[in-house]
Structure 1
């Protein structure tokens, strides 16, 4: 029985070690990097702050995050566009084996606190999905320039260099009383469009193309 005892003990130790380290964001990890390069036509020249760039479709497909990329999905809203964005981020994280955690705001009064909780996790990137988060992000992000944010399906009116957005005709919510564009169309939040948004946005962030709006055609 002695050999079986030792085998069981070793298996238990291995499983315990795996559970203790997997997803433990309290431990430091290597700085994230881009695996792969942006394709031709993603940008023509280095963009100015707050500029809008229109990359060639699919020019982001060859870019992937390095292992252990830590992402918080910050979301609020049960409307169809928000649900489509959330599904796209979750699918992207599964495909890329990114370490994803989700923070859901518990009502309008919890929007700013939910951003604070997201930052407290110290992720490599906070991805925001839901128009109601735009104005709270406008308030919070300028005071936390060391934290990178990606807004999908909307944009901040005046983003600081740590905030990148991905938008398109049919989305374009900007907050600050500007609301939705006259072309706002919930039907434009297709699975393909939302998938392109998260992939193009992450590709830009990983290549330090931040503080801009990425416009999808």
Structure 2
């Protein structure tokens, strides 16, 4: 049996390595990039930086000039097939496409393995994990405090007593905080509109990029 020429073997190996790099642009660790653009007037009072667990109510549109750097790494972690969760995930997908974000998606519909799916998202070491779906709130409350170096953004719900790395973006009618816990407003599925969901992801990310984390960004 004739052996393959060394040059052929080297070329084949180069193709394999190049393919791996092309398929996974998250291979190399890095420092999360900063924001592109500044927060507008009315996003937050510059003389009163919000304390952890505080709620701010930004002026609508005060986040419009803030964008993530191209290639910002985001994991969309979702659970649920209900209309409300789909509205949230559609908003994140649309935002990621418009902003040229590098987006990976993980679904956690199986209740038995939700912690596993959260750990799978953590293992990717993204710049941000965006969480959508009420079924993830209780598991998130168990996990996030043990991973303070990872930023999370929950949209359409909240984690009760969040650590500084867990930000929420929600609105009146969307303030679920976990099973058995009171809500800051009555739940209303009709309030989960594409417009509100889109504002939530943009306003929430704007806050995270500018270091306003561990708070609730309340969309009017």
Structure 1 residue ranges without an equivalent (≥5): 1-12
CA gap 1:30/1:157 in 2 versus in 1, 3 angstroms? closer
1:119 corresponds to which of 110, 122, 128? 122
Partners of 1:39 and 1:62 within 8 A in 2: yes
Q: Does the 8 A contact of 2:172 with 2:185 survive in 1?
A: no
Cα distance in 1 between the residues matched to 2:101 and 2:24: 10
Distance 2:59 2:123 in 1: 35
User: Which consecutive residues of structure 2, in runs of 5 or more, have no partner in the other structure?
Assistant: 1-13
Aligned to 2:175: 172
- Contact 2:175/2:185, CA 8 A, preserved across alignment: no
1:134-180 CA distance string (max 9 Å, x none)? 01000000000000000000001100000000111010100141165
Matched, 1:137 2:146: no
Structure 2 match to 1:7? none
Which residue number in structure 2 is paired with residue 88 of structure 1? Answer: 91
Is the Cα–Cα contact under 8 Å of residues 21 and 27 in structure 2 kept in the other structure?
A: no
State which of 93, 105, 110 in structure 1 corresponds to 2:108: 105
Say what the alpha-carbon RMSD is for the aligned residues.
1.8
- 1:110 deviates by 1.3
Aligned to 2:160: 157
| Conserved? CA contact 1:127–1:152, under 8 Å | yes
1:24 and 2:25 are equivalent in the alignment: yes
Q: Describe the superposition over 1:5-34 as per-residue Cα deviations: whole angstroms up to 9, x where unpaired.
A: xxxxxxxx99x9587335421213453110
Counting matched residue pairs gives 204
User: What is the DSSP-based 3-state SS (H/G/I as helix, E as strand, rest coil) of the residue aligned with 1:101?
Assistant: strand
Alpha-carbon distance between aligned partners in 2 of 1:182 and 1:216, rounded to the nearest angstrom = 13
- Which residue in the other structure is 1:213 paired with? 216
User: Retained in 2: the 8 A contact 1:157–1:176?
Assistant: no
Tell me, yes or no, if the aligned pair for 1:41 and 1:59 is still in contact at 8 Å. yes
SS at match of 2:163: coil
TM-score (norm 1): 0.89
CA distance in 1, matches of 2:124, 2:185: 37
- Over 3 Å counting, the alpha-carbon distance change for 1:82 and 1:106 in structure 2 is closer
- Contact kept, 8 Å, 1:23 with 1:99, in 2: the verdict is no
Cα gap change, 1:180 to 1:108, in 2 (>3 Å): farther
Deviation at residue 183 of structure 1 after TM alignment: 1.9
